[in-house]
Structure 1
Amino acid sequence: MDTHDHKPETNASGFIAPTSNAVEPEFELSTVPGHENAAPIPEEAAIADSAPIDPKPKKSRTPFQESLRRFRRDKRAMISLIVILCIVVIAILGPFIYHHIGGLYKQQLGTHIIGPDVYHTYDHQELDRAHEMPSPQYWLGTDGIGRDILARLMQGMLISIVLAVVVEIVDISLGITVGVLAGYYGGWIDQFLARLADLLFAFPGLLFIILVAGILGGWADDTLGAVPVIGAGGNARLLLISIVLAFTSWPLMARYVRGQTLQIKEQQYIEAARTSGTNDLTILTRHIVPNLFSIVMVASTLNIAGTIIGEAGISYLGLGVRPPGASIGLMISDASQSLSAYPWELLVPSLTLVIIVLSFSFIGDGLRDAFDPHSKD
């Protein structure tokens, strides 16, 4: 048998030439870029390949940012917030602007020539101009003794805002302090603070306010009436009412805070902080109190509406702001005496009070739905 024909052929340089039975790798020339038979690359893919890659991925929103986003989407709450901001601006800046609008005129019952800095004040009265309808001089008219209704209304809104702020500062301070201590430590501290809060809950708040205002009202007029800022213009009892309203409202805030604290202190990060040797003060100030922001904000917003109604009710009964001072409740009380003849004078302060209370209520509802979306279920 001749085996010479089966030997691979070699060339002069000594390399072995491949045989005809060798399997060649198969390439799809149409997939090789730049080849004359290559298929064209789609334009979308080319743009995607050439697009720059963002090295910084977008950060996910925090729970607080998500809550704010839900709150901004609540149209009713946002409209109410705008209304409250407008009321605050009008109450603070409105009197200064209103005192420069108008001209000089001579009083009918006197020889004095007065300007807008006098007749646009909340305590200036002219008996010959009582019960006037809205006019270029008095934009909302005058009341039963010739006082500017708009000037008194702006002063009344300012009184309501200041009172609400003072009450909420005391309410939040006492509520957070008592609620956090009771919920975190428990034991006899919880029992003592809980019984104290229950005692205040059992006593009617309005009755307590009337009792204190009736007993200490005269003392407040004599003692605080000489203070330029607090007692000037019949506002001597405002500080007394603020303290009483705050004293009767903080137990509800403390109850909310205590319940939330009981849930927070069982979280794993609190246990990890205790295990690492973190003291109680640091845990309370850095881990528990910041997480109470949502419930405190919702509760305080809803409480503002009750505070404004409470002040208006006390002033309506004659135990709050006294003449020549101005508050919404006092304006309603004065206008109710001539309701049948001049309903406009009662409609203006009453409608203002309704708008303020409803706006704060809608803001509170919006905050509650934003920070606790499961509350709708």
Structure 2
Amino acid sequence: MMFKPVMLWTDALIFLLLAAVGIFTWYVRRHDHLRVPWRRVLTNPTGMAAAVVLMVFVVIGLLDSLHYRPALTSKAGQPARYGVEVLSALDAMLPELRAHKEKTYSAPLATHLYAKEAIVLADGRSVRDYPRLKYGGAQLTDTHSQWEHDILQRIIAGVLKGLALTVLLVLLLSASLARQQAIGLKVALIRLLRDGDAIPWRTLLITCSILLVLGLVIAQLAAAYHVFGTDKVGQDVLYSSLKSIRTGLVIGTLTTLVMLPFALLLGIVAGYFRGWVDDLIQYLYTTLNSIPGVLLIAASVLIVQVYIEAHPDIFDTTAARSDVRLLFLCLILGVTSWTGLCRLLRGETLKLREQEYIQAATAFGVSHWRIITRHILPNLQHLVLITVVMDFSGLVLAEAVLSYVGVGVDPATYSWGNMINSARLEMAREPVVWWQLSAAFVFMFALVLAANLFADSVRDAFDPRGRAQ
């Protein structure tokens, strides 16, 4: 085989979560009381635009979760050997971004290094100047006269390709709509562009058009330049930003899986049974809240790090060691972040417990478990869903903060927090290296903003009090 598949712990959990989302989608389609609110989310223009942006991040994260070890060249008759470096499908799609490393810092779209060095000329003289990059703008013979024209040409090519794909997408959607509704292609096209349907097609097309144009412009520029420059070791910053997407998604999603069981079980039990059970659970999460979360996380991460260093035979690759630390960080964040949702569910359960239909079920001898699963839990679903979606962005930001203070993911793991941590020293040098911090901020801002806008749409669709207003 040309490669050996590798399944990391977080990879398995990601695909398990993907399967759970598929099952949940199938369940929603079979129940009207769930299908109607989700349809309301899809008819919200803001929610639709945010969902498209989130899907782009999710696709990149899934591609970066398909790991493998490339095969090494071996003689005939010898067993296959594989490299120790663990790559992903995203690496296979971006070989130039991964392999084209410069000597050190270079500015975005630059053709020379960012700092002067001693250069020996052909006649033997030594001068201090900015050396040419090995890959950035290597196709140019005269950077002073050709650089602006080449940049402009690549931007125009990317815009034209993006617009061409947008037109093709519009025609495909029009043909599909015309076939489904048994109308003419022209009528379907007009209805599509005028939002004459329940789904905001125009918003969807505008969002896709912007993403296509932006993506293809970056792709055209990245083929010959470092779009976001390079870092201290010469690694392309755009590549580091794209690889950091998976870390942000893992922190935001897997932490939720750990947090939900604690919050649901303890919150509902405390509010339903009350008495000494309520007092015990309140004491538990009040005590946990009184301890600074950073201290718990730092202590847990140090314990995991000591265990990894004491058992090097268990973790055969750098990726495996980094993945275990990332997984334990998700577990620690989940264990320390369930208290807010638990308190919210406890208060709502206390209110629901006094409703007449709950008291009637109790009077008829219905078991506590059946009351909780059939009456309490369904009426808490909107709170759980809204809180989970809105907490996603907070968890992404938490990873950046923890990595900045040194108790986050492994330093060898690509993450926006590690990029910001590296940029801390770069901002103090002269001249200032600003692009690594800016790239991490742009990607993080796009993901968090899309998550927050989508959360607002989910809240408006699922909150009964908001619909009543």
TM-score, scaled to structure 2: 0.57
Distance 1:230 1:253, change over 3 A: farther
Using the TM superposition, give the Cα deviation of residue 74 of structure 1 relative to its aligned residue in structure 2, in angstroms.
3.5
Aligned-residue Cα RMSD (Å) equals: 3.0
- Matched to 2:223, the amino acid is P
Percent identity over paired residues? 28
User: Paired residue for 1:128?
Assistant: 103
Distance 1:236 1:307 in 2: 18
Using the TM superposition, give the Cα deviation of residue 365 of structure 1 relative to its aligned residue in structure 2, in angstroms.
2.4
Q: Equivalent residues in 2 for 1:1-377 (5 A)?
A: 64-93=34-63, 96-97=89-90, 99-101=92-94, 116=95, 120-121=97-98, 126=101, 128=103, 130-131=105-106, 133-134=108-109, 135-136=222-223, 138=226, 140-214=228-302, 216-223=304-311, 226-227=314-315, 232=320, 234-339=322-427, 340-372=431-463, 374=465
Distance 1:226 1:285, change over 3 A: same
Distance 2:102 2:45 in 1: 45
Query: Which structure 2 segments of 5+ residues have no match?
Result: 1-30, 65-87, 110-221
Local SS of the residue matching 1:289:
helix
CA contact (8 A) 1:167 1:245 kept: yes
Local SS of the residue matching 1:237:
helix
CA contact (8 A) 1:170 1:246 kept: yes
- Matched to 2:106, the amino acid is H
Using the TM superposition, give the Cα deviation of residue 304 of structure 1 relative to its aligned residue in structure 2, in angstroms.
1.4
CA contact (8 A) 2:107 2:435 kept: no
Query: Which structure 1 segments of 5+ residues have no match?
Result: 1-60, 102-115
Local SS of the residue matching 1:322:
coil
- Matched to 1:361, the amino acid is N
Comparing 140-149 with 162-171, greater Cα deviation is found at 140-149
Distance 1:131 1:83, change over 3 A: same
Distance 1:230 1:271 in 2: 57
CA contact (8 A) 2:308 2:321 kept: no
Distance 2:351 2:450 in 1: 31
- Matched to 1:155, the amino acid is K
Distance 1:257 1:230 in 2: 41
Distance 1:152 1:274 in 2: 57
TM-score, scaled to structure 1: 0.70
Q: Deviations over 1:148-195 (max 9, x none)?
A: 323322221101111222210111111000011111111100110011
Distance 1:224 1:187, change over 3 A: farther
Distance 1:262 1:250 in 2: 18
Local SS of the residue matching 2:338:
helix
Distance 2:308 2:378 in 1: 38
- Matched to 1:78, the amino acid is M
CA contact (8 A) 2:270 2:346 kept: yes
Local SS of the residue matching 1:128:
coil
Distance 1:267 1:221, change over 3 A: farther
Distance 1:155 1:226, change over 3 A: farther
- Matched to 2:406, the amino acid is G
Distance 1:290 1:235, change over 3 A: same
Comparing 337-346 with 186-195, greater Cα deviation is found at 337-346
Distance 1:261 1:212, change over 3 A: same
Distance 2:400 2:313 in 1: 20
CA contact (8 A) 1:130 1:142 kept: yes
Comparing 143-152 with 294-303, greater Cα deviation is found at 143-152
Distance 2:318 2:366 in 1: 44
Using the TM superposition, give the Cα deviation of residue 207 of structure 1 relative to its aligned residue in structure 2, in angstroms.
3.6
CA contact (8 A) 1:304 1:360 kept: yes
CA contact (8 A) 2:102 2:230 kept: no
Using the TM superposition, give the Cα deviation of residue 221 of structure 1 relative to its aligned residue in structure 2, in angstroms.
4.8
- Matched to 2:89, the amino acid is F
Using the TM superposition, give the Cα deviation of residue 254 of structure 1 relative to its aligned residue in structure 2, in angstroms.
0.7
User: Paired residue for 1:11?
Assistant: none
Q: Deviations over 1:11-46 (max 9, x none)?
A: xxxxxxxxxxxxxxxxxxxxxxxxxxxxxxxxxxxx
CA contact (8 A) 2:106 2:229 kept: yes
Distance 2:420 2:62 in 1: 21
